[in-house]
């Protein structure tokens, strides 16, 4: 089952089209990476999913119900973590989450249990100081706890790791990879290594359009094959091979790199090496990564 579906969604502000006829779906129980440069239209799309902006055309469906601008029926299924979450900084994390539970109408006998569970999950069970003394990473973790308070079916995170150090990023990614057992996650980011670490399915948004989408394997496969790197034992063989098999990039005097090579190409290359008795240090197939794909997309 798909927890979220967008069908031909478009949004413009004046004459400027921000989102251009995009369609994608997010399967239940996955972490979905929503990738794009700043200004690509990611935040606008998420605001339409939340019903905070009205789409000019198309439809958005959350948990089999259509999103309607200005109405919050579908938002009862959604938890949202903005890029910079705001809190009542004079409160402790427990006080703040209890208040949120009361405001949203959670039964009082459930609030304390749920708050304890979430503070433990995000690593803030022993944090009794006021929120104004929290680091950025601690605030992001508290924001996730708040977003999960009402057990949403869909958790939307807008750039949750963008301003964090490596330790803080790892903490947030570990939390998100665990919560997918209970809730579907949309992870908006431009940090590609984070996407490769935790996402099951992704979509590249470029200039308001979906440039690539699918599972990580499908998207990497769309690049047309892995690269190939050959390291020789002497510069003479490297130079000779470069003349016999054109198209390589000279990394240094001993190393050649080729883009988008298939297994058939590999067999041909190995044949040339053997026929000419060339001495090599190594031959390595280089799997395409998201950074390579991202640079291809944005350079089009």
Per-residue confidence at 11, pLDDT binned at 50, 70, 90? very high
223-271: per-residue pLDDT in tens? 555 678 899 999 999 999 988 998 888 888 888 888 776 778 888 888 9
pLDDT (average), residues 282-287: 79
pLDDT value at position 147?
Answer: 94
Q: 235-244 vs 263-275: helix axis angle to the nearest 10?
A: 120
Q: Flag whether pLDDT at 286 surpasses 80.
A: no
Strand order in the sheet with 255-261: 249-250, 255-261, 226-232, 280-286
Report CA Rg, the chain.
24
pLDDT at 297 over 70: no
Q: Are 216 and 32 in contact (CB under 8 A)?
A: no
Q: What is the pTM of this model?
A: 0.80
Q: Where are the domains of the chain?
A: 2-220, 226-298
Strand residue runs (E) in the chain? 2-13, 16-27, 31-35, 57-62, 65-66, 78-81, 154-158, 184-189, 201-206, 209-215, 226-232, 249-250, 255-261, 280-286
In CATH, what number does 2-220 get? 3.40.50.300
**Among 78, 81, 198, which residue's Cα sits nearest to residue 142?**
81
Question: What is the rounded CA–CA span in Å between residue 124 and residue 218?
Answer: 37
* Strands of the sheet with 184-189, listed across from one edge: 78-81, 154-158, 184-189, 31-35, 201-206, 209-215
Of residues 134, 105, 103, the one with CA closest to residue 119: 134
Domain 226-298, second-level architecture:
2-Layer Sandwich (3.30)
- Cα 16 to Cα 36, 41, 105, 224: the distances in Å are 18, 12, 40, 34
Which residues are 35's β-sheet partners?
189, 204
């Amino acid at each position: 089952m798909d927890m979220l579906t967008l069908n031909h969604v478009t949004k413009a502000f004046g004459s400027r089209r921000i989102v251009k006829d995009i369609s994608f779906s997010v399967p239940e129980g996955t972490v979905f990476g929503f990738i794009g440069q700043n200004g690509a239209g990611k935040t606008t799309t998420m605001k339409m999913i939340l019903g905070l902006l009205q789409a000019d055309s198309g439809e958005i469906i959350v948990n089999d119900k259509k999103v309607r601008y200005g109405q919050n029926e579908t938002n009862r299924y959604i938890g949202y973590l903005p890029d910079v979450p705001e809190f009542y900084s004079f409160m402790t994390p427990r006080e703040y989450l209890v208040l949120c539970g009361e405001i949203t109408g959670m039964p009082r006998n459930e609030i304390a249990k749920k708050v304890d569970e979430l503070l433990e999950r995000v690593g803030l069970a022993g944090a009794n100081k006021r929120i104004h003394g929290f680091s950025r990473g601690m605030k992001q973790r508290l924001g996730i706890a708040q977003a999960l308070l009402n057990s949403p079916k869909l958790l939307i995170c807008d750039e949750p790791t963008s301003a964090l150090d490596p330790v803080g990023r790892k903490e947030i990614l570990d939390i998100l990879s665990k919560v997918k057992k209970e809730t579907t996650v949309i992870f908006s980011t431009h940090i590609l290594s984070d996407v490769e670490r935790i996402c099951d399915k992704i979509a590249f948004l470029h200039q308001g359009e979906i440039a690539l989408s699918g599972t990580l394997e499908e998207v990497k496969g769309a690049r047309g094959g892995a690269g190939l790197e050959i390291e020789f034992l002497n510069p003479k063989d490297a130079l000779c091979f470069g003349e016999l098999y054109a198209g390589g990039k000279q990394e240094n005097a001993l190393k050649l790199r080729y883009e988008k090579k298939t297994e058939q190409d590999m067999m041909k290359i190995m044949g040339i090496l053997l026929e000419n008795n060339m001495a090599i240090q190594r031959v390595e197939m280089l799997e395409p990564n998201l950074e390579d794909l991202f640079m291809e997309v944005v350079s089009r």
